Structure 1
Amino acid sequence: MRMIFLSQTTVGLLGNFFLLYHYSFLYYTRCTLRSTDAILKHLTVANSLVILSKGVPQTVAAFGRKCFLNDVGCKLVFYVHRVGRGVCVGTTCLLSVFQAITISPAGSRWAELKPQAAQCIGPLSILCWILNMLVNTIVLQRVTGQQNRVNSTKEKDLGYCAAVDFDSSILGFLHIMLLSSYDVLGLGLMTWASGSMVCILHRHKQQVQHIHRTNLSPRSSPESRVTQSILVLVSTFVAFYTLSSIFTLLLTILPNPGLWLVNTSALMAACFPTVSPFVLMGRDPRIPKIHSTCC
């Protein structure tokens, strides 16, 4: 587990920092920028926060340091993780919806939103950060340091910190509904947008099949390549998010979760932030590949 957490954290941070450098380089050199690059920059920052707040403390705890964070440190680490995770959900949802609007045919009802879609990226991304920073203030009340534990049955040992269970009152139920409704809405919009993009690409492929000639290039259009990259990214997110949600649910339901469940939940939570930059880099033609560099 020590080597797994250390490898995941190192690889994830290197991948996200390189992707941030790539987008910054494109911006300052005024190279070709896509409208989706602005969303991907927010996603990369959120991924970095998730790895720093989840992977780094979990790696330190795996090497035997249990009480290296005080009460303020635990609250800050878990709060940053929840904010970063929420922004990952929001920006991935925004990315898929924006691309679905971009490639929508001229006669559809979404075509009217194309001119305004690119202008709304910045405000919606900032709104996503503000919303998650406000909603996840609940975490500050539930997380405490190991030094402040009172050995109550309502507290759960999370390795280097402890968490207090939600109470069974109406207020506790509202807190759970508030935290889960955001994720459910984001996944619902992602599913709708991904289905729409698949249908649009399929119809477009059928429409142009009869005009294909042997002298035409077999490569797809830039819009199709970007759409396919986003579909791969969204599919990766949904797969890892589903696994992470299952382990998080078990961690919440079980009264005394074992160390293996705590470690597995932390491992799953950082999987998408670790893998996503390499998915994006592997499908971005603006990033030189190793084999082309060698040639």
Structure 2
Amino acid sequence: MESDMLTRGLLYLFLMVVGVPGNSTVIWAFLHLGYSERKLLPADAIVLHLACVNLLVVGVRCLLETLATFQLANVFNDTGCKAVIFIYRTSRSLSIWLTFVLSAFQCLSIAPPGSSWATLRALVSRYLGFIFLALWVLNTSMSSAAIAFSLGSGNGSGLMQHGINVQFCFVRFPSRLSRDANGAGQVGRDVVPMALMATASLIILVFLYRHSQQVKTLRSGGATAGKRQGSSAEQRAAKAVVALVTMYATFYGVDNGLWVYTLTVQKTMGSSLTSDLRIFFSSLYAAISPIIIIITNRKVSKRLSCRREDEKPVQSADTALSTM
């Protein structure tokens, strides 16, 4: 096996080894939580959905790429390429949008009771299932080009004038205009939630900073215990928001930068290196994000450590503000 193929296989193997157990753990923890409590809070439902689509990203694309690279199994004929690329693009974009939904919901959760923002949060909670459905419809429709234009590498030779080489598959567009239009649509689909997520996260961080300053001025005697607990929860929430947004901006920023480079530099069309790097960085978020969830979410960590605590009827500050 050539060194570049070995490196490629090891990178995909790393994503699979980290991402599949991590996302599976998060899914198990929240399914166990839903079974034991007979319900899931909206933020928990969003995280569960996010872990499911992240598992699709690393479990479908990275697993199959690893098997094909090491010549253990190869499903990348015409039908396989259409299915894998379609599922990958849909789940990848859903991962981005669900991260935004999570940040936006937590932004609404800090709104004071009785405000219009609190009313909007209640509406989001009530119609969360419809939001999930709308996101699936939006992202599957925007990924449908993969079904029409993807084909196996055995049928793609000589057809790369307006196509993209993704190692075992080709994505062939009928014209450069259609290729660029599809690429611009994908970039826009990523940039919009990125901007919205950054705005929501900034609002949360500003609120947490102001609240922490207020807590410092109110600390005195025995009355500070609850405040300190809330402050600790807010710090965990702030760290989780910063970590997820930073990861998102870094990995998907590189991914979209490489995508723009692929669309604008003609000579990259015949090489799979750029596409491999794009897939790696976009899948890296899906593989590493469950680690952030496991570290910052008490509900997940409690179930992993097999500790049970009595649940209080009133929602705690950690639940309300946790980005997980």
Distance 1:265 1:35, change over 3 A: same
207, 220, 223: which is aligned to 2:230? Answer: 220
Q: Secondary structure, in 3 states, of the residue corresponding to 1:264? A: helix
Q: Secondary structure, in 3 states, of the residue corresponding to 1:43? A: helix
Contact kept, 8 Å, 2:215 with 2:231, in 1: the verdict is no
Give the structure 2 partner of residue 84 of structure 1. Answer: 91
The letter of the residue matching 1:287 is: V
Provide TM-score, normalisation by structure 2. Answer: 0.80
The letter of the residue matching 1:263 is: D
**Aligned equivalents of 1:154, 1:31: Cα separation in 2:** 52
> 1:164-192, CA deviations, whole angstroms, 9 ceiling, x for partnerless residues?
247244x5554344333322221121011
**Aligned equivalents of 2:304, 2:117: Cα separation in 1:** 40
| Pairwise CA distance, 1:254 | 3.5
Q: Secondary structure, in 3 states, of the residue corresponding to 1:159? A: coil
**Aligned equivalents of 2:181, 2:108: Cα separation in 1:** 33
160, 164, 168: which is aligned to 1:160? Answer: 168
179, 186, 189: which is aligned to 1:179? Answer: 186
1:53 equivalenced with 2:60 (yes/no) = yes
**Aligned equivalents of 2:252, 2:96: Cα separation in 1:** 9
**Aligned equivalents of 1:76, 1:151: Cα separation in 2:** 23
Contact kept, 8 Å, 2:86 with 2:144, in 1: the verdict is yes
The letter of the residue matching 1:253 is: T
**Aligned equivalents of 2:147, 2:23: Cα separation in 1:** 27
**Aligned equivalents of 1:133, 1:112: Cα separation in 2:** 30
The letter of the residue matching 1:102 is: S
**Aligned equivalents of 1:205, 1:168: Cα separation in 2:** 53
47, 51, 61: which is aligned to 1:44? Answer: 51
| Pairwise CA distance, 1:237 | 1.8
Equivalent residue runs for 1:12-51 within 5 Å: 12-30=19-37, 33-51=40-58
Worse overlay, 100-109 or 181-190? 100-109
Contact kept, 8 Å, 1:156 with 1:256, in 2: the verdict is no
Contact kept, 8 Å, 1:66 with 1:160, in 2: the verdict is no
The letter of the residue matching 1:273 is: A
Give the structure 2 partner of residue 141 of structure 1. Answer: 148
Give the structure 2 partner of residue 191 of structure 1. Answer: 198
Distance 1:168 1:292, change over 3 A: closer
Q: Secondary structure, in 3 states, of the residue corresponding to 1:46? A: helix
| Pairwise CA distance, 1:162 | 1.0
Worse overlay, 101-110 or 41-50? 101-110
> 1:1-21, CA deviations, whole angstroms, 9 ceiling, x for partnerless residues?
233321221221111111111
Distance 1:175 1:284, change over 3 A: same
Give the structure 2 partner of residue 268 of structure 1. Answer: 281
Give the structure 2 partner of residue 211 of structure 1. Answer: 218
| Pairwise CA distance, 1:140 | 1.4
The letter of the residue matching 2:166 is: L
Contact kept, 8 Å, 2:183 with 2:259, in 1: the verdict is no
| Pairwise CA distance, 1:270 | 1.1
Distance 1:275 1:235, change over 3 A: same
Distance 1:290 1:42, change over 3 A: closer
Give the structure 2 partner of residue 130 of structure 1. Answer: 137
Contact kept, 8 Å, 2:183 with 2:263, in 1: the verdict is no
Contact kept, 8 Å, 2:103 with 2:197, in 1: the verdict is yes
| Pairwise CA distance, 1:285 | 1.5
Contact kept, 8 Å, 1:95 with 1:230, in 2: the verdict is no
Give the structure 2 partner of residue 278 of structure 1. Answer: 291
**Aligned equivalents of 1:61, 1:232: Cα separation in 2:** 33
243, 251, 262: which is aligned to 1:232? Answer: 243
> 1:27-77, CA deviations, whole angstroms, 9 ceiling, x for partnerless residues?
111178432111011111110111123212321243257964210110000
Distance 1:76 1:222, change over 3 A: farther
| Pairwise CA distance, 1:125 | 1.4
Task: Give 5+ residue unaligned stretches, structure 2.
Answer: 1-6, 308-324
Contact kept, 8 Å, 2:111 with 2:117, in 1: the verdict is yes
| Pairwise CA distance, 1:291 | 11
The letter of the residue matching 1:154 is: H
The letter of the residue matching 1:275 is: I
Q: CA RMSD in A?
A: 2.8
Task: Give 5+ residue unaligned stretches, structure 1.
Answer: none
Give the structure 1 partner of residue 322 of structure 2. Answer: none
The letter of the residue matching 1:278 is: I
Percent of residue pairs bearing the same amino acid type? 23
Give the structure 1 partner of residue 319 of structure 2. Answer: none
The letter of the residue matching 1:113 is: L
